[in-house]
Amino acid sequence: MDRRFCEQCGAGLGIEEIDGRARQVCPRCGTVFYQNPLPVAACVVLNDRREVLLVRRRYEPHRGEWCLPTGFAEVGETIEQAALRELREETGLEAAVFRLLTARSLASDYYGDLLFVCFEVEATGGAERAGDDAEEVAYFRLGDLPPLAFESHEEAVAICESLHREPWAIQDSFAHLYSDEPEGMLSDALVALVEERAGEICERWLGVVADHPTVAGYADIDLSEVRGAALEAMSHFCDWLQHPDESEMAAFYREIGRRRRTQGIRLEELLSALTLLRKEIWTFAREHQVLASPLDVYRVMELSRRVVLFFDKALHAAAIGYGDGATAAVPPR
């Protein structure tokens, strides 16, 4: 709003061009009166269900629409203090500022030039209730928000979600790490890779088996049968990662154990061959997954545990099958 008189000396104000703009200036004392945008502070509050707290506006502008808890900063308080005060007045929550999300300018027909500053805050006390300028308060899922009154609020929520995306994925990975429920496991990426490149992994493994001293007996048996068994083993591996059913997998490896004994393969050679297959799958996966972020590191931890768990069970079943096989003595070498 334009002033008529100087606040310093009371003289009537005039207009001068300063710094390329027409500004109000006192001709008597020379005071320049700058027009500044009104600062507006807002808070993004997330609950444990990863929902964001919104308020329904009681007054114009945008009456009846949803927005973040928000309001004007007052003289004598910092912008952070303004954000926390508005949150307390509109929602009943006490909080602490966690981080700055956005600072954006907005031209409003109702208020003029505004400066929206949005923080992510962490609730420390209080209880949710509608107060002050809010008709209603409610939490909404991040993927299912109502239209927000201010574009700057939509941007702040989107940035906040993006900043949490990777930490939440890590949390989800740990939540499933020691669970028998495979849904949402990050090892799904490994399943897709092995299913797509099983033949390539198998050929690499056969190349290792052909020269490795711990599996010398495999040189005397039909490698086409070994190749088929390896491909089937990887199929069971992928099936188990998605749906951990041990009965079918264990039956397959018991049969492998019995078959290798009748072929004259020593038990230690059988177990070494399976261990080499595990190593080849893991090496192939590592070569095709770049560890570029913390999430990738946790993915490796999760995949490592599940790969080892599967092959531990496979080795156990194969050893049982080997012991249940033909009673004929294994030819010495």
pLDDT per position as a tens digit, 69-102: 999 999 899 999 999 999 999 999 999 999 999 9
**Residue of 26 and 289 predicted with greater confidence:** 26
pLDDT of residue 197: 93
Give the CATH number of domain 42-177. Answer: 3.90.79.10
Band (248; pLDDT cuts 50, 70, 90): confident
pTM of the model as a whole: 0.55
Start-to-end Cα distance in the chain: 100
Check if the beta carbon of residue 133 is closer than 8 Å to that of residue 57: yes
Tell me the residue ranges of DSSP E strands in the chain. 14-18, 21-25, 32-33, 38-45, 51-57, 66-67, 70-72, 93-108, 112-126, 134-141
User: For the chain, what are the domain ranges?
Assistant: 1-35, 42-177, 188-323
- Considering only the top CATH level, what class is 188-323? mainly alpha
Q: Tell me the C-alpha distance between 201 and 212, whole Å.
A: 16
Q: How many CB atoms lie within 10 A of CB 68?
A: 29
Q: Is it true that 42-177 and 188-323 share their CATH fold?
A: no
Q: Tell me the C-alpha distance between 69 and 86, whole Å.
A: 7
Model pLDDT for residues 120-159, shown as the tens digit of each residue:
999 999 999 998 789 999 999 998 999 999 999 999 999 9
CATH architecture of 1-35: Single Sheet (2.20)
Q: Partners of 122 in the beta sheet?
A: 96
Q: Tell me the C-alpha distance between 313 and 318, whole Å.
A: 9
Mean pLDDT of the chain: 85
**Residue of 291 and 221 predicted with greater confidence:** 221
Residues recognised as catalytic: 136
pLDDT of residue 109: 67
Residue 85 backbone class (left: φ over 0; alpha: ψ -120 to 50; beta: rest): alpha
- Matching residue, tokens 């899922």: 141
